[in-house]
A and B are shown apart, each in its own frame.
Chain A
């Protein structure tokens, strides 16, 4: 099994580089760095079921850059850089950073892409995406959350995120089709309009499960011919049989 020992080293290098810039000039830089090192270690320890040995360096860099503590309510700030899900009010949560990294990595973000997010929540995932792709569109169903997130995104200066309040089921027709779609809101099924708004070769990721923990991630892939298939991905490496290997 290939184990990319190189990645943590690369990451440290990257972090050292970034530490010189303004983006790290907040009081939580050290905590964020600790969290990212932990996530990098976790990713290399486990061959995740994405079929990749670890998260891409770009994704890790984006997470290293986004100040998670700015996206959580004041009483949750002390835990902002713990690798755990957090409550953000209105009965909503943000995923644990490890899962955010995994979901972001799964859509294979590139700098020329346009991405749609259903369920802005605090805006954290949108901010991570904004570091990686050209344009992010994000829809939130709960009005107060949408307003808070829009303000936050504006304050933090993310010019490439557009938000709106409302029903995500029909996607964002006029801005589509999208290279990737992230559905962080609960869904009983994959909305057919969203499948239509996915470009050939595009990917959609939906975390499925109860609050504070995704049971699995649903990856919807549309091939170049427009054929759609899904993959169900456990966030962890867990073989359901004792004494059984993966091969």
Chain B
């Protein structure tokens, strides 16, 4: 007996389960592997959604006949396989770092895709089947689906605040099983429902060891824990990552990146903090004796303190507190310390307060729990020194792992903002890792030059000083030209610590390559070229991308150039692979895979379906097949175009606006949660409302026009609109952001269900296929958005999305 009413609640739950599963998988793979490979695995696994569409297209007759059971079984299988797939995938032994040496790693990656595909395929089969079984209820079904996704996304972030990711995963798995149980909670089927419920309870009650994580042995934390005597003191989880505090009493950490060769003092005892198993930062022991912190004067980042008297300092990214101690040890009058992660501060101040000496409570120190850029934008106070700490780990920088990470800390606009918040004579200091050939330091220098020029500075070179050790480089930017006395202080500082100059006004080239010698003074030559009239030529000819990042293209860590790839791969035998910047090629590989599998999994079922129908030509199968299949090409092409355009456009808009709001809401987690939830919630509402329109085609055209108008208006006016509002309370900013997104989300929720409903009325057999096409396009768009933004910026992403909506309006699959 088939149900007469669609299982809205079960659809809601299942959709919530899948989305939370996806979010948690991203977190889990970032923990056990590295985030860009996590991205690759998940986006390809999402193709299970498309594959499900193909499956339902081909097997719709039997599946529709047994809808209730099929839905429950598929949802139940999602629950069971979701857990098994993850547990098996982390045992595959994939090592991303060996991928260019060991061909078997590709096979292992393939195996992980295969494993992860299964749960997505199962869940999507249940969802897609609902649309196919009830073509006349599509707007409501879509509303349940998309509202479930909103709840799932928000729920996953909530779970991550309370539980470790591995435990949270059980929650989303159990939710999937409950969805299955709910779908068959009918007389005669209670036994199936109870079984699913019991499995769910069983999974929640599994011993923790069963879902223990097995991180890559090449992550810093894994390596540290091999050292005799090390122990994990605390581990805290949040959507910002898992922070692990480790003590090593037998072999002290002595974390002092880039310490001068002439330093005689060692760092004091330290507790190491790892984020997602990498990125070591330290908490120094401090008992009130400043002599223990003496080594901090022998880092390149100590330079600005030798040019300023008792400065009021702003430390961006204070973390474990060493930059704070450095400031106080070197004479800062006051220190405003900004840190994003409250849990890190709690570790420093409370858990290890006796060890760290409660640095955030020291006289003159004020703590601000905020995102760095947003904090500066939102406050009027000026400082004598703004110190941007070395926030990321060297190993990640060395492997180019940040290539895909957006950061609003190192853009031209960001540097301009910092400069605006300096007192007359104040300094901006930014420290980066030294890599060879120069990447980070020169890109930072280029960014500073652009920021100074944007402020109307005619000779940026007079406002810049940059020094380097063998591991770190520190840039000073000053709104007014450096004075001879300051330059003398720089010289004294450098000579006493064996640091070289990258740039200072009027410098002698001999000073560029004295202590840390390179075969050529590459840093100085780069800096000089960036200040010369030949700048563009230099940027074009440089084998890494070092032109400045901007807010619209916030990819500071994207250094990759195709032109250099062949040369670098050719140097593999001579140890040249470290020249390869990984992030971007992995992104392109992901996109290529998604396109190939997507095309295959979309077109193959269609072809099979059309061929079968053409052979059968059964009059019983309904009128739609008679008219459409006899002339399949134009109809299918129109459907393909419409649903591809929508899948791409929805995702492009969503991703672009998440980025635009990150800057405004000053917190990645708030921004992602709020933007995603508002979009999905309003899209769900839009879908429900879309039912009321007399003419579906006209409604789509109106919606497309509204979306185009709104997105283009927003993208052009938001930066200017946000500027004066940055100082508002976060609750006000969130309300405002939600109000801006709501009408857009409402309009964006309409075209998909309207198109599907129209198809359901005239060609119901193509409903699952159209659903699949839309799913594929979303996966492709998730990757494509980043590729487009890297090259042309988020404004271009939004313009493209608006055009795609217009294209969709023109190819509406229905006659009205």
With a cutoff of 8 Å between Cβ atoms, the chain A residues found around residue B217 in the complex are: 90-91
Give the distance in Å from the alpha carbon of A196 to the alpha carbon of B689 in the complex: 77
Residues of chain B within 8 A of A195, CB atoms compared:
261
8 Å CB contact of A210 from B252, B398, B434: B398
> Any chain A CB within 8 A of the CB of B722?
no
| Cβ-neighbour of A84 out of B101, B395, B438 (below 8 A) | B101
Contact A91 B218 (CB under 8 A): yes
A192 touches B264 (CB 8 A): yes
**B577 interface contact, C-beta 8 A:** yes
Answer whether residue A21 sits at the interface, using C-beta atoms and an 8 A cutoff: no
Q: Is the CB of B259 within 8 A of A213?
A: no
A83 part of interface (Cβ distance < 8 Å): yes
Across the interface, B254 reaches (CB within 8 A) one of A96, A169, A208, A211, namely A169
CB distance from A168 to the nearest CB of B (A): 9
Q: Beyond A236-B575, A246-B519, is A229–B438 a contact (Cβ under 8 Å)?
A: no
Listed stretches A24-32, A108-116, A156-164, A237-245; interface member: A237-245
A213 to B580, CA, bound (A): 10
Task: State which residues 367-418 of B face A: CB under 8 Å.
Answer: 394-395, 398-399
B576 within 8 A of A: yes
CB-nearest residue of chain B relative to A100?
B575
Query: What 1/0 mask marks residues of chain A from 214 to 233 whose CB sits below 8 Å from any chain B CB?
Result: 11101010000000111111
Instruction: Provide the bound-state CA to CA distance between A235 and B250, in Å.
Output: 34
Closest to B435 in A: A215
| B-chain residues with CB within 8 Å of residue A102 when the two chains form the complex | 575
**Interface residues of B, CB < 8 Å — how many?**
63
Mask: chain A, 80-123; 1 = CB below 8 Å from B; 0 = not: 00111101001110011011001000000000000000000000
Min Cβ gap A40→B in Å is 12
Give Cα A99–Cα B538 distance, bound, in whole angstroms: 31
Q: Which residues in window 37-86 of B have CB below 8 A to A?
A: none
> A154 to nearest B CB, angstroms?
22
- B227 contacts A244, C-beta separation under 8 Å: no
CA of A232 to CA of B254 in the docked complex: distance in angstroms? 22
Residues of A within 8 A of B541 (CB): 241-244
| Distance of A167 Cα from B252 Cα, bound (Å) | 9
Given the contacts A87-B98, A214-B578, A232-B470, A190 and B398 also touching, CB distance less than 8 Å: no
Contact B571 A167 (CB under 8 A): no
B257 close to A228 (CB less than 8 A): no
User: When the two chains form their complex, are residues B575 and A232 in contact, meaning their CB atoms are under 8 A apart?
Assistant: no
Instruction: Give the most central of A98, A99, A188, A214: most B CB within 10 Å.
Output: A188
Q: Tell me, in angstroms, the Cα distance from A95 to B668 when the chains sit together.
A: 38
> Is the Cβ of B575 less than 8 Å from the Cβ of A192?
no
Check if B97 sits within 8 Å of A210, measured CB to CB. Answer: yes
Asked, given contacts A236-B575, A238-B579, whether A231 binds B518 with beta carbons under 8 Å apart, the answer is: yes
Instruction: Check: A42 CB closer than 8 A to any chain B CB.
Output: yes
Q: Are B575 and A96 in touch, CB under 8 angstroms?
A: yes
Is the pair A231, B498 in contact by a Cβ cutoff of 8 Å? Answer: no
Query: In the complex the two chains form, is B250's CB within 8 Å of A213's CB?
Result: no
Docked CA distance A190–B517 (Å): 16
Other-chain residue from B223, B259, B435, B571 in contact with A189 (beta carbon distance below 8 A): B259
Closest to B575 in A: A235
Asked if A38 is an interface residue, CB under 8 A from chain B, the answer is: yes
Residue B515 CB within 8 A of the other chain: yes
A208 touches B471 (CB 8 A): yes
CA distance A85 to B578 in the complex (A): 12
Residues of B within 8 A of A211 (CB): 97, 218, 395
Q: Are B519 and A230 in contact (CB under 8 A)?
A: no
Q: Is B350 an interface residue (CB 8 A)?
A: no
Q: Does A46 contact B (CB under 8 A)?
A: yes
Q: Give the chain B neighbours of A19 by CB distance below 8 A.
A: none
A247: min CB distance to chain B, Å: 9
**Chain A binding surface SS class:** loop
Known: A212-B97, A240-B522. A38 touches B573 (CB 8 A): yes
In the bound assembly, the distance between CA atoms of A234 and B98 in angstroms comes to 21
When C-beta atoms are compared, the residue in chain A nearest to B221 turns out to be A91
Name the distance in Å between B268's Cβ and chain A's nearest Cβ.
14
Q: Establish whether residues B576 and A236, one from each chain, have CB atoms under 8 Å apart when the complex forms.
A: yes
The verdict on A49 contacting chain B, using a C-beta distance below 8 Å, is yes
A98 x B226 contact (CB < 8 A) = no
Q: Which residues of A contact B459 (CB under 8 A)?
A: none
Cα distance, A196 to B561, chains bound together (Å):
42
Residue of B nearest to A99 (CB): B575
Chain B 422-439, CB-CB to A under 8 Å as 1, else 0, gives 000000000000111110
Report the separation of the CA atoms of residues A212 and B250 in the bound assembly, to the nearest whole angstrom.
Answer: 27
A240→B438 contact, CB < 8 A: yes
Residues of B within 8 A of A208 (CB): 398, 470-471
**Chain A contacts for B263, CB-based, 8 A:** 189, 192
A49, A84, A214, A230: the one contacting B470 at CB < 8 Å is: A230
Residues of A within 8 A of B250 (CB): 167
Is there an interface contact between B573 and A240, defined as CB atoms closer than 8 Å? no
A141 at the interface (CB under 8 A from B): yes
B522 in contact with A188 (CB, 8 Å): no
Chain B residues within an 8 Å CB radius of A240: 437-438, 522, 526, 542-544
Contact across chains for B519 and A210 when beta carbons are under 8 A apart: no
Q: Mark A2-43, 1 if CB is under 8 A from B, else 0.
A: 000000000000000000000000000000000000100010
Q: Is B256 close to A, CB under 8 A?
A: yes
What residues on A are CB-neighbors of B544 within 8 Å? 240
Return chain B residues, CB-CB under 8 Å to A62.
none
Asked if A175 is at the interface of the complex by the 8 Å CB criterion, the answer is: no
Q: Which residues of B contact A186 (CB under 8 A)?
A: 223
Indicate whether A228 sits within 8 Å of B258 (C-beta atoms), given known contacts A189-B471, A240-B522, A242-B563. Answer: no
**With a CB–CB cut-off of 8 A, which chain A residues contact B398?**
208-210, 215
> Which residue from chain B places its CB closest to the CB of A48 in the assembled complex?
B574
Q: Which residues of B contact A216 (CB under 8 A)?
A: 436, 578
B543 near A230 with CB under 8 A, answer no
Any B CB within 8 A of the CB of A142: yes
Minimum C-beta distance from B621 to chain A (A): 56
Please give, as numbers and ranges, the residues of chain A lying within 8 Å of B266 by CB-CB distance: 192
B520 part of interface (Cβ distance < 8 Å): yes
Chain A residues, Cβ within 8 Å of B251: 141, 166-167, 169
Cβ contacts under 8 Å, B731 to chain A: none
Does chain A have a CB within 8 A of B211? Answer: no
Bound complex: CA of A96 vs CA of B98, how far in Å? Answer: 12
- What are the residues of chain A within 8 A of B395 when measuring CB–CB? 209-211
CA gap between A200 and B682 in the complex, in Å: 73
User: Closest A-chain residue to B217, C-beta based?
Assistant: A91
Contact partner, A236, options B516, B517, B538, B579, Cβ 8 Å: B579
- Report the bound CA distance from A13 to B519 in whole Å: 33
CB A173 to nearest CB in B, in angstroms, measures 15
Q: Mark A40-66, 1 if CB is under 8 A from B, else 0.
A: 001000100101000000000000000
> How far, in angstroms, from A186 to B226 measured CA to CA in the complex?
14
Check A49–B519 contact: CB distance below 8 A: yes
Query: Is B222 located at the chain interface by the 8 A CB criterion?
Result: yes
B362 part of interface (Cβ distance < 8 Å): no
Taking a contact as CB atoms under 8 Å apart, the answer to whether A213 and B577 are in contact is yes
Closest residue of chain B to A146 (Cβ to Cβ) is B228
CA distance A83 to B578 in the complex (A): 15
List of B residues within 8 angstroms of A143 by Cβ: 228
Asked if B95 is at the interface of the complex by the 8 Å CB criterion, the answer is yes
**A-B residue pairs in contact (CB < 8 Å), sample of 10:** A98-B573, A143-B228, A165-B228, A169-B254, A188-B394, A211-B97, A213-B577, A231-B516, A232-B517, A240-B522
User: What are the 10 A-B residue pairs with the smallest beta carbon separation, nearest first?
Assistant: A189-B259, A91-B217, A235-B575, A240-B437, A236-B576, A215-B578, A213-B578, A210-B399, A167-B251, A84-B101
